[in-house]
Structure 1
Amino acid sequence: MGSSSTEVSTIVKNWREHPPASYSLKIHSFSQLENSTASSDDKYQSRLFSSGGYNCESLMVFTPPTETFAELRFFVYNKKENKYFTIQDIEVKRFNALQTVWGVQQILPCDTFSNPDNGYIFEGDQCEFGVDVIVSPPHTKWEILTFAEKYSDPKFYWVIKKFSELKENVQTSNSFSMGGKKWFLMLYPKSDSRAEGKWLSIFLLLADCDKPKADEKIYMKANFRILDPLGSNHFDRQLEMWCTEQIPAWGWSQFLSLAELPKVYLDKEDTLKVEVEFKVVSAATKYSEADPLEEEWVQLTPENYID
């Protein structure tokens, strides 16, 4: 059984009442225009007009080479319908020194256009054409998100001595660096306020110097472990999170049962060992918000709508 592919057309035809926004060319005697151009190159070029800050006449490229992108929509007025027939190639066109002309080769059959009964030629010998040139603004705003996944030493160890004798409700580790950011752990030996004194609670936080800005997010994935002193039955849970300005910390109120903890995870010296092994951290997001007025600019040419 054979297979075939059908090319999808990017040409869209429509009708609309609103006139062209960029430029309109009204001709009072189309037959005279045809006669006047027959002895030359069979075309008439409109006057210069501007759209989106670009002059649609001649392309002047500065150093370094520049280019711009635009959507083009062409119009033919129909007096009978009192609307504009529009045709558009929905693919955005790239204008540069090598490609200064874009357009649509076939808008209307000549006999359809020239027959007054169809409404494109009206009031004797008049007609109207137009174009919308929708220029895309320069590419000035962007961001690059990268992830760090390989570390020479991906683990942080926290040794808490005399765990059963701790008086403070919360314990805070020393800060440590991972993935280009500073972190620290917070541990509640007798639960935080949501765990009702039955669970060990533990959280990972970004240091103040690395907390996300208002429009920033930082991704992190790591394994948390309470180590078995005998080395065979570690308690392990994975944490995966996006840190934001509103939520700079993640973890568990109910990480490990306090009833189970002394049976397995405290050694003879009453020491608790916590390990965090980092898998992924998103690196600092690079972004730009350059002023378009500072960018190089280009002058567009159409003939742009005659191909």
Structure 2
Amino acid sequence: MGLSYSAVSTIRQNWREHPPSYSLKIQNFSQLEKSTAFSNHKYQSRLFSSDGYNWRLIIYPKGNVKDNGSGFISMYVEIDSSSLIESTEVFAELRFFVYNKKYNKYFTIQDVEVKRFNALKTVWGLPQVLSLATLINPENGYIFEGGECEFGVDVIVAPPFTNWEVLSFDVKLSDPKFSWTLKKFSELKEEFYTSNSFSMGGMKWVLKMYPKGNVRADGKYLSLFLYLADSETLKPDEKIFKKAHVRVLDPLGYNHLTEKLSHWHNESNHGYGWPCFVSLTELRETYLNKEDALTVEVEFKVVSKNKYSPII
């Protein structure tokens, strides 16, 4: 069963005491109405600067008829094309203001969708900011002191796209297995042994084995862990997901002992695995070959990769 969505208006209205970043004061609104009949029914402000770009505020005192604004004050912002370079796009949030002296506040209206300005689309705005009848009625407070009024705009430019992160998961590793054989297992004396490093998913790894178990194994179990190699150092806040099967191989090839490992690796010198992978009794009975050698294997299923900028 499909989902249905109702249209949600992106136009928001409220009141604000703080003045806009750019203000256009008109000392005689009726004369503005008359004069714009000779300038395509609109008034364009002088250029003003915001976030490194130049802009104009455009007012249609009787509304922009071509944009369904008849009977309203229509307000737009135009970016100065000379401040755009080829292929440049500027994303900006626009807030339009009309001052109300009765309340000593600014009526504020905006389309909360950020607008994309470029060489092909240099003008964005709202055709129906405030009804003309509401504005020209002196009792409402928008026209005062013999015809004065004030319009304004905030142009808030979104910062350029400079921070990004791409997370991917490599599930088709070309050579996903690594095997490690320890000869004369019963004669091993060291507390632990570390395999040669091997590459997997763009990182280097090692297996670490405690032949008589680590401190949590009470000398009764083989302990086995997977580490990032010492040559690999995770950056702050960096993490790698790995999914692997770790096995102690049956020399007869019938009954390999397999455990599954899935974990986010977020520390350079920290391993993940099992303090009690297999009891030493079972290991000696089943998993040592005739030459007293033990073979373990790791098979990677998934390794994540993370690219990001800037690198910190």
Asked if these proteins are the same fold (TM beyond 0.5), I'd say yes
Instruction: Report the counterpart of residue 297 of structure 1 in structure 2.
Output: none
Instruction: Report the counterpart of residue 124 of structure 1 in structure 2.
Output: 146
Query: 2:113 matched to 1:91?
Result: yes
* Pairing 1:174-213 to 2, within 5 Å after superposition: 174-213=196-235
Q: C-alpha separation between the residues in 1 aligned to 2:30 and 2:223? A: 87
Instruction: Report the counterpart of residue 146 of structure 1 in structure 2.
Output: 168
Q: C-alpha separation between the residues in 1 aligned to 2:197 and 2:269? A: 19
Query: 2:30 matched to 1:31?
Result: yes
Q: Which of these residues, 78, 81, 85, is aligned with residue 100 of structure 2?
A: 78
Q: C-alpha separation between the residues in 2 aligned to 1:51 and 1:130? A: 13
Is the CA contact (8 Å cut-off) linking 1:181 and 1:210 kept in structure 2?
Answer: yes
Q: Classify the secondary structure of the residue corresponding to 2:128.
A: coil
Please state which structure has a larger fraction of its residues in strand: 2
| Aligned-pair CA distance for 1:127 | 1.3
Is the CA contact (8 Å cut-off) linking 2:246 and 2:299 kept in structure 1?
Answer: yes
RMSD across aligned positions (CA)? 2.1
Moved more, 32-41 or 74-83: 32-41
Is the CA contact (8 Å cut-off) linking 1:214 and 1:245 kept in structure 2?
Answer: no
Runs of 5+ in structure 2 lacking a partner? 57-79
Is the CA contact (8 Å cut-off) linking 1:223 and 1:278 kept in structure 2?
Answer: yes
| Aligned-pair CA distance for 1:172 | 0.9
Moved more, 4-13 or 133-142: 4-13
Which amino acid in 2 is paired with 1:6? S
Q: C-alpha separation between the residues in 2 aligned to 1:247 and 1:119? A: 69
Is the CA contact (8 Å cut-off) linking 2:102 and 2:140 kept in structure 1?
Answer: yes
Is the CA contact (8 Å cut-off) linking 1:211 and 1:248 kept in structure 2?
Answer: no
Q: Classify the secondary structure of the residue corresponding to 2:127.
A: coil
Q: C-alpha separation between the residues in 1 aligned to 2:256 and 2:144? A: 87
Q: C-alpha separation between the residues in 1 aligned to 2:39 and 2:270? A: 72
| Aligned-pair CA distance for 1:44 | 1.3
Which amino acid in 1 is paired with 2:8? V
Distance 1:79 1:45, change over 3 A: same
Q: C-alpha separation between the residues in 1 aligned to 2:120 and 2:183? A: 72
Q: C-alpha separation between the residues in 2 aligned to 1:264 and 1:79? A: 91
Q: C-alpha separation between the residues in 2 aligned to 1:70 and 1:124? A: 35
How many residues of Structure 1 are paired with residues of Structure 2 in the alignment? 286
- Cα offsets for 1:22-43 (capped at 9, x unmatched): 2111122211221222333221
Is the CA contact (8 Å cut-off) linking 2:228 and 2:269 kept in structure 1?
Answer: no
- Cα offsets for 1:120-143 (capped at 9, x unmatched): 112332211111111011112223
Which amino acid in 2 is paired with 1:62? I
Moved over 3 A (4+): 2-5, 245-248, 285-290
* Pairing 1:1-307 to 2, within 5 Å after superposition: 5-20=5-20, 22-57=21-56, 58-60=80-82, 61-63=84-86, 65-245=87-267, 248-283=270-305, 285-289=306-310
- Higher relative contact order, structure no. (Cα contacts within 8 Å, ≥ 6 residues apart): 1
Instruction: Report the counterpart of residue 71 of structure 2 in structure 1.
Output: none
Moved more, 46-55 or 252-261: 252-261
| Aligned-pair CA distance for 1:246 | 5.3
Q: C-alpha separation between the residues in 2 aligned to 1:282 and 1:4? A: 36
- Give the TM-score normalised by the residue count of structure 1: 0.86
Q: Classify the secondary structure of the residue corresponding to 1:86.
A: strand
